[in-house]
Amino acid sequence: MADAAGQLSTGAGQLAAGTAQLATGSGKLASGLTQAERDTAQLPALTRQLAAGADQVADGNEQLAAVVVPLANRIIAAIDAVPSAGSAAAQFRQLAGDCTGTAAFCGRLRETADRFTTDAGKIDGVKASVRANAVKARDSVQALATGARKVADGNAQLAAKSRQLAAGIAAAASGARQLDTGIRQANSGAQQLASGAGQLKNGATKADTGAHDLADQLDQGRDQVPSYTDAERAHLKTVAAEPSTATTDGTPIGTLALTLFAALALWALALATYIVTQAVPDGVLTAREPTWRIILRAAIPGATAAALAALAIAAIAVPVLGLGFAGTVGFLLIALLAASAFVALNQAATAIFGRAGRTASLAVLVLAGATGVVSTLPGPLYALADYLPTHGAILALRAAATDGTGLTTGVAQLAAWLVAGTLVSILITDRRRYLSAKSVRLRRTHPFATV
């Protein structure tokens, strides 16, 4: 009996030790799930904030698309409405061919028609390039709005699922705590059983077997309960708690885009003006009229184009921006100043460098458009864009449209460019009215040579 009681006592002791280990493991499990419950308690609220922020971003992009897409369509329609320079050149050649005036007049008319024909392809190319950029901007804004809406919908689904996840973890933590309480009670009973093992050998043996079976089942259940490491929990909190942000100066995106396109359109029209007209009139060397009158005659086409361009841009932009009377007058005056400055600069560049000047003007147009629309260009290009003539126009137009800052700086830059372009045109025209000694000798030796 003593031996039997000793064996029973040994078995009861083993049972108590096993249930103690089980209690330790279940305590860790309950603690881990409780910590997970605390860590994920704020997850639904954070994901709801993320979903709300994404929805606001999607709304903003859709508002941008609502402004930019109609504007781009207007620009495309306006470009499509402009007749082809090639067809105009053909009509010009036909008119020159049918000329019935004096031989000198008809000859000059045919020369002008030939020059216009030579530059017609470039004009059509500029039109096509501006149209392609407008189409690209429209399609990009539409794609951005669509993608932002998809992101917002996905974040809304994430917010809904995160609530289910948090509820599941909370339920698992509650069950684990109940399990831990039960196991600790079982351990207490096992210790009491060990103290009376001498009387309950058979019961103790069966209890030992059952306890081991219970331990195996609990171990299997513990392995199936989801858990996270400290690193995983930290990563989850970081991803869910950091919303996407963007910093702007408060100017509506539609206004930014509209003022940019307005400045680019004014520069493109100034470039086109001195593709189809001469920067310095023919016969300036032999003309008897004063220099100021020659310059005025050469500037009339550019000034006319500048006034028409400013009126057209204001007619398109003012209704879209919703400006009042004072805002409309200010916007129109700045557009006139910008158009005049751009015409003066293109006249000066063409007068000095000819075709190379037109190419440089086209490069200014491309760089200003690229830095205003694309956000992934190298940093030096954005720094260079601040020194372009179009920068002052964008600043001033944007300030007039929003009553913001930058008006004085923009107007001062445009005025400086206007004065510089006008002075250069005056100097070049006046210089071409005189021959150098080398040119005089060349004319004496070769009377028909071109100087």
Domains of the chain: 1-246 (1.10.287), 249-451 (no CATH)
Residue 200 has pLDDT above 70, yes or no: no
**pLDDT at site 284:** 66
Q: Is 221 exposed, middle or buried (0-12, 13-18, 19+ CB in 10 A)?
A: middle
Q: In the prediction, which pLDDT does 39 show?
A: 85
Place of tokens 């000198």: 104
Q: Distance (Å, rounded) from C-alpha 86 to C-alpha 92?
A: 10
Residue 317, pLDDT > 70, answer yes
Query: With 90 as the cut, is the pLDDT of residue 419 above it?
Result: yes
The predicted structure's pLDDT at residue 416:
96
Instruction: Indicate the DSSP class of residue 83.
Output: P
Average pLDDT over residues 153-162: 86
Confidence of residue 5 (pLDDT cuts 50, 70, 90): low
The model carries a pTM of: 0.44
Most confident of 2-16, 208-222, 369-383: 369-383
pLDDT at 264: 93
- pLDDT of amino acid 362: 94
Tokens 């003593």 belong to: 2
332 within 8 A of 310, measured Cβ to Cβ: yes
Residue 165: its pLDDT value, please? 82
Residue in this structure with the two tokens 């259940």, named with its chain if needed: 221
Q: Is the pLDDT of residue 406 over 90?
A: no
Angle at alpha carbon of residue 100, lines to 281 and 288, rounded to 5°: 30
Residues in the chain: 451
Residue 305 identity: A
pLDDT of amino acid 243: 42
Largest Cα separation within the chain, whole Å, is 147
pLDDT above 50 for 290: yes
Structure tokens at 256: 């930014």
Asked if residue 442 has pLDDT above 80, the reply is no
What is the per-residue pLDDT for 410? 93
- Interval 148-168 mean pLDDT: 86
Contact yes or no for 348/298 (Cβ under 8 A): no
Quote the CA–CA distance of 266 and 70 in Å, as a whole number: 19
Residue 240's pLDDT is what? 46
Q: Which sign does the torsion angle of CA 177, 179, 181, 183 carry?
A: negative
Q: What is the pLDDT of residue 101?
A: 79
pLDDT score for 408: 93
The mean pLDDT value of the chain amounts to: 79
- Of 37, 373, 76, 17, the closest CA to residue 194 belongs to 17
Instruction: Pick 145 or 376 by higher pLDDT.
Output: 145
Rounded CA separation 338/330 (Å): 12
pLDDT band at 265 (very low <50, low <70, confident <90, very high): very high
What would the two tokens of residue 219 be? 């171990």
Number of other residues whose CB lies within 10 A of the CB of residue 250: 6
Q: In the chain, helix, strand, coil percent, each to 5?
A: 85, 0, 15
Q: Give φ, ψ of 287 to 5 degrees.
A: -70, 140
The predicted pLDDT at position 245 comes to 38
Q: Rounded CA gap, 386 and 375, in Å?
A: 15
Does residue 249 have a pLDDT over 60? no
Whether 72 shows a pLDDT value over 60: the answer reads yes
Answer whether 236's CB lies under 8 Å from 228's CB.
yes
Specify burial of residue 363 (Cβ count, 10 A radius: 0-12, 13-18, 19+): exposed
Whole-angstrom Cα distance, residue 388 to residue 368?
8
Q: Is 239 exposed, middle or buried (0-12, 13-18, 19+ CB in 10 A)?
A: exposed
Q: Is a pLDDT exceeding 60 seen at residue 189?
A: yes
343, 344, 345, 348: CA torsion to nearest 10: 120
Q: Mean pLDDT over residues 206-232, rounded?
A: 61
The per-residue pLDDT for 241 is 46
Q: What percent of the chain has pLDDT over 70?
A: 79
CA atoms within 13 A on the CB side of 38: 5
Per-residue pLDDT for 193 more than 70? no
